[in-house]
Amino acid sequence: MTCIVAVTNQKGGVGKTTTAINLAAAIALRKKKTLLIDLDPQSNATIAFFETADIHTSMYDVFSDRPAEMAAIIRPTKDANLFVAPSRLALAKLEQQLAGQFDAPFKLKDAMTPIQHEYEYIVIDTPPALGILTVNALVAATHLLVPIQAAYFAIEGTDDLLETFGRIRSRPNPALKILGVVITLFDKRTNISRDTHEQIRAVFGEALFKTRISKNVRLEESPAYKETIFSYAPKSTGAEEYRKLAQEVLQRVQEDRVARHTQDAA
Ligand code: ADP
Ligand code: MG
């Protein structure tokens, strides 16, 4: 079964896109065929791989009234195991266009059905809002991964996210699970980072990944060169930490599969 991870937090600037890109890349480097879906109209994940001028078809076409097949918009990357479904600014129009359509929350799930078995992992980058695009990601996903920035007010707003998670689970997607919470932009020299780490651990407990993503300028630079952290600065702290995070993710997914299997057998 394909593992579909939605990387979500309605706050902007918390490391969603950086995490989506580099987690997908780290999984692909472990020879697992991986698809990164960019659902943010700001298209930061897309621009980290391609020139905007080269993007003629995108997720916007998939959501349109005469939908394109996802297979037609997915693009290969320099990494043979990593593929990207690009976004365009036009995606911002969907909040209005889809309003009132009864199947609006299911568009992504339906579009993914014919192609998802081709991938072992699908990572979805979401916009900084709990609107229709994020809801589509949560309806289509098997797992939710929440990046939280180590900063004051870090967990403010996570209750809204958890409430949305609960509502999605109660109806459209009862199988959705929290894969984990990852602390991002961590700076071990500051009290703020250490305090928020404790606070986040107190709130999320076991869900918190052991791996923290530190502030690392290489992570900020790599998208400008259309590189992932693994080709841009393979020995950097950023590369090392995202490799570790990927390892934890794969381990949790594996444990989850075993648990489901045992449940099914019982
Ligand atoms: P979001 O998708 O949640 O808005 P981004 O991943 O785009 O967040 O990160 C916001 C900004 O912070 C970007 O400029 C990004 O390059 C930078 N950034 C993200 N993670 C790190 C990190 N660990 N170290 C340094 N800069 C980072
Ligand atoms: Mg982003």
Average pLDDT over residues 124-148: 97
Return the residue whose CA atom lies nearest to atom 9 of ligand 1.
Answer: 15
187 Cβ closer than 6 Å to some ligand 1 atom = no
* Secondary structure percentages of the chain, helix, strand, coil, to 5: 50, 15, 35
pLDDT surpassing 80 at residue 266: no
Burial (0-12, 13-18, 19+ Cβ within 10 Å), 96: exposed
Q: pLDDT grade, residue 28 (50/70/90)?
A: very high
Ligand 1 centre distance from Cα of residue 193 (Å):
16
Which three-class secondary structure state does DSSP give residue 33?
A: coil
Q: What pLDDT, on a 0 to 100 scale, did the predictor assign at position 204?
A: 92
Ligand 1 centre distance from Cα of residue 16 (Å):
7
Atom index in ligand 1 nearest the CA of residue 21 equals: 6
Q: pLDDT grade, residue 155 (50/70/90)?
A: confident
Q: pLDDT grade, residue 152 (50/70/90)?
A: confident
Return the higher-pLDDT residue of 13 and 65.
13
Average pLDDT over residues 138-144: 98
The dihedral built from the CA positions of residue 150, 5, 25 and 61, taken in this order, carries a sign that is negative
Give 66-90 pLDDT, tens digit per residue: 999 999 999 999 999 999 999 999 9
Atom index in ligand 1 nearest the CA of residue 238 equals: 23
Return the residue whose CA atom lies nearest to atom 19 of ligand 1.
Answer: 15
- % of the chain with per-residue pLDDT over 70: 100
Ligand 1 pocket, mutate which of 220, 221, 227 (most atoms under 8 A from CB): 220
